[in-house]
Structure 1
Amino acid sequence: MLKILLSKALLVTTTQLTMILIAVASIFLVFIIIAIIKMYKLKAENKKLMETNAFKDIDETYKDFTGGHLYGDN
């Protein structure tokens, strides 16, 4: 008798299962939407930072360091 009561208590109807799956899917959908919004915000911020002069002021002239004391050319 106890086995029958226990097995009936653990049964889940299709309606209950559907409701649980909808709730879980909704939570994951919210997380995905938040991640997409953050991705676009970070992309816009990265684009704005790349357009500043911080990366354009780098001296790009080549310097030959092979004549240093490490190579014995003194």
Structure 2
Amino acid sequence: MFNNLFSISLIVSTTHLTMILIVVATIFLVFILIAIIKMYKLKAENKKLMQTNAYKDYEESRKNEPSGHLYGDH
């Protein structure tokens, strides 16, 4: 009798664990999808910023600055 009761509770517990794992996996999948969408949005924004004049002006100003090396540029 005890053995039969234990196997029934084990089946219920396995079913519950399976459902919990499915829910957790779904939540992580949603987080991964949100991260991928944000990555593509940031990549598009970065591409736009790289094409603006402000970035080009910054690059030009960096070329005119000394390197900061104490012994000169070798």
Q: Following superposition of structure 1 onto structure 2, how do residues 1-74 of structure 1 map, counting pairs within 5 Å?
A: 13-57=13-57, 58-59=60-61, 60-61=63-64
Structure 1 regions of 5+ residues with no counterpart?
1-7, 64-74
Q: Share of identical aligned residues, percent?
A: 74
Equivalent pairs counted in the alignment come to 55
CA RMSD of aligned residues (A): 2.2
Pair member with larger Rg:
1
Quote the Cα distance in structure 2 between the aligned partners of 1:53 and 1:44: 17
Deviation at 1:46, TM superposition (A): 0.4
CA-CA distance at 1:27 after TM superposition: 0.5
- Which structure is higher in helix share? 2
TM-score, normalization by structure 1 = 0.62
